[in-house]
């Protein structure tokens, strides 16, 4: 208990120091903003950008110290400028020849328009110093005077009874520190977290992006399936028909050739079936439909040309579209390990806890996996984003690699599994 109080006191000191730095950096932004009026853009951009570090630090520390989570509210950076046909950069109605100039002005506009910039500023120069003075400074002054009163008779010529006043003061200070810190955090959160409008805007952007990807991917997938059917199974079945028709005509006149043709038709039908089977696996693996996600992942591991272990404990089954997305995500990560990691062993874990489905694939390979744009892992990230899922890759050079996928979802009905033992 006392440890927590003394920690509260120490963190209070940190906030006191932060208050001074905060007021200064807030003042710098204001100076920078004034600079814009006389045509200096760069100082404002660098100061406003730099001044975000302090609130960011505060957000990180608050969640670490007190568990009060304050999300980052800043709008995503604007799209990089691209030159037009004449090599100039358009910004609103103005054209710029210099990229640096245009980019700075774009950035300044972005910062000026982001309400978080001004909320940060208000916090830095007004709320934060006030809150720190009232919640941290004042109690600390009380605590310090209490300490003086306790040590007074020993260190100087204070009357003998002053410790009797000092001890309650110190105790009062210590008992208030933790509470004061939390109040500080709550007050800070009022300004430093995203406004509900900012949150909604960001959510809409996310949804628009993932929806665009989902529909693009869906359309691309359908046209691939159409092409595969058209050039593959469909063409082969046409060939079967023609061959059978020819055989039919030859049955009387040339039975030997007719027999050969029928055999040929059978072989062609068999290869059409093989193609359809491969195609079906790519659309929706049959084992997923028959057994559900956990067993489909087990079947996947059995087919992988690596030593693999699977730990899959699910009390039910996610909705089919999500199960398919997670299945294909795991399949892609496994393929990645097999192709690039030079791994000996593969471990797949699948669990559902706190309404989050978590799949982790680890290998003992060479590491260095990264989701560069267009790569398989990038595809996995996008596929999961449609379901608000996340992909985290931990793959230092030299390995090992752990790829974790998390998707929020509920599990519904249960599919019975008759597997036994680790796969």
Give the interface with another protein as residue ranges (CB under 8 A): 266, 269-270, 273-274, 277, 280-281, 286-287, 289-291, 295, 298-299, 302-307, 415-416, 418-421, 423
- CB of residue 328 to another protein, shortest distance in Å: 16
For residue 65, what are the β-bridge partners? Answer: none
Instruction: Supply the DSSP symbol for 92.
Output: T
Nearer to another protein, 248 or 307 (CB): 307
Are 405 and 323 in contact by the 8 Å Cβ rule? The answer is no
**Cα(365)–Cα(334) distance, rounded to whole angstroms?**
12
Structure tokens at 412: 């519904």
- CB of residue 322 to another protein, shortest distance in Å: 18
Edge-first strand listing for the sheet containing 356-363: 307-313, 345-353, 356-363, 401-408, 390-394
**What is each CA distance from 215 to 9, 90, 283, 382, in whole angstroms?**
54, 31, 16, 12
Instruction: Supply the DSSP symbol for 388.
Output: T
Nearer to another protein, 210 or 243 (CB): 243
Q: Which residues contact 112 (CB under 8 A, 6 or more apart)?
A: 33
- The strand pair at 307-313 and 345-353 is best described as parallel
Are 104 and 45 in contact by the 8 Å Cβ rule? The answer is yes
- CB of residue 302 to another protein, shortest distance in Å: 4
Are 26 and 124 in contact by the 8 Å Cβ rule? The answer is yes
Nearer to another protein, 19 or 312 (CB): 312
**Cα(265)–Cα(257) distance, rounded to whole angstroms?**
12
Nearer to another protein, 73 or 318 (CB): 318
**Cα(163)–Cα(155) distance, rounded to whole angstroms?**
12
- CB of residue 279 to another protein, shortest distance in Å: 11
Nearer to another protein, 207 or 280 (CB): 280
- CB of residue 255 to another protein, shortest distance in Å: 20
- CB of residue 205 to another protein, shortest distance in Å: 40
- CB of residue 415 to another protein, shortest distance in Å: 7
Instruction: Supply the DSSP symbol for 337.
Output: I
Nearer to another protein, 81 or 279 (CB): 279
Nearer to another protein, 236 or 298 (CB): 298
Alpha helices in 124-232 (DSSP H): 128-131, 138-155, 162-192, 196-231
- CB of residue 233 to another protein, shortest distance in Å: 13
Nearer to another protein, 131 or 423 (CB): 423
Task: Tell me the torsion sign for CA atoms 58, 63, 69, 72.
Answer: positive
Structure tokens at 296: 């489909």
């Amino acid at each position: 208990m006392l440890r927590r109080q003394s920690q509260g006191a120490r963190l209070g000191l940190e906030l006191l120091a932060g208050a001074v730095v905060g007021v200064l950096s807030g003042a710098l932004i204001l100076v920078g903003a004034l600079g814009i009026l006389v045509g200096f853009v760069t100082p404002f951009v660098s100061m406003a950008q730099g001044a975000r570090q302090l609130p960011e630090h505060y957000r990180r520390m608050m969640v670490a110290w007190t568990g009060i989570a304050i999300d980052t509210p800043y709008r995503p950076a604007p799209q990089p400028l691209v030159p037009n046909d004449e090599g100039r950069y358009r910004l609103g109605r103005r054209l710029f020849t210099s990229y640096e100039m245009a980019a700075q002005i774009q950035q300044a506009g972005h910062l000026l328009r982001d309400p978080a910039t001004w909320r940060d500023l208000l916090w830095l120069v007004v709320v934060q110093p006030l809150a720190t003075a009232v919640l941290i400074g004042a109690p600390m002054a009380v605590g310090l005077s209490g300490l003086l009163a306790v040590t007074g008779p020993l260190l100087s010529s204070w009357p003998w009874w002053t410790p009797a006043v000092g001890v309650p003061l110190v105790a009062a200070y210590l008992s208030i520190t933790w509470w004061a810190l939390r109040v500080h955090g709550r007050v800070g959160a009022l300004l430093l977290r995203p406004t509900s409008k900012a949150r909604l805007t960001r959510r809409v952007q996310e949804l628009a992006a993932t929806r665009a990807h989902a529909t693009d991917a869906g359309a691309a997938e359908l046209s691939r399936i159409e092409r595969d059917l058209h050039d593959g199974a469909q063409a082969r079945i046409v060939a079967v028909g023609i061959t059978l028709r020819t055989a039919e005509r030859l049955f009387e006149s040339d039975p030997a050739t007719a027999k050969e043709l029928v055999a040929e038709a059978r072989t062609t039908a068999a290869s059409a079936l093989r193609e359809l089977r491969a195609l079906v696996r790519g659309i929706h693996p049959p084992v997923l439909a028959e057994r559900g996600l956990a067993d489909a992942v087990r079947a996947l591991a059995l087919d992988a040309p690596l030593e693999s272990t699977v730990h899959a404990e699910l009390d039910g089954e996610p909705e089919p579209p999500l199960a398919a997305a997670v299945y294909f995500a795991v399949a892609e990560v496994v393929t990645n390990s097999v192709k690039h990691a030079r791994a000996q062993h593969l471990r797949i874990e699948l669990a559902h806890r706190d309404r989050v489905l978590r799949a982790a694939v680890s290998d003992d390979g060479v590491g260095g996996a990264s989701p560069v744009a267009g790569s398989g892992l990038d595809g996995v990230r996008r596929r999961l984003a449609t379901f608000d899922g996340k992909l985290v890759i931990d793959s230092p050079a030299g390995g090992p690699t752990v790829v974790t996928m998390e998707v929020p979802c509920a599990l519904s009905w249960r599919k019975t599994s008759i597997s036994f033992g680790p796969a």
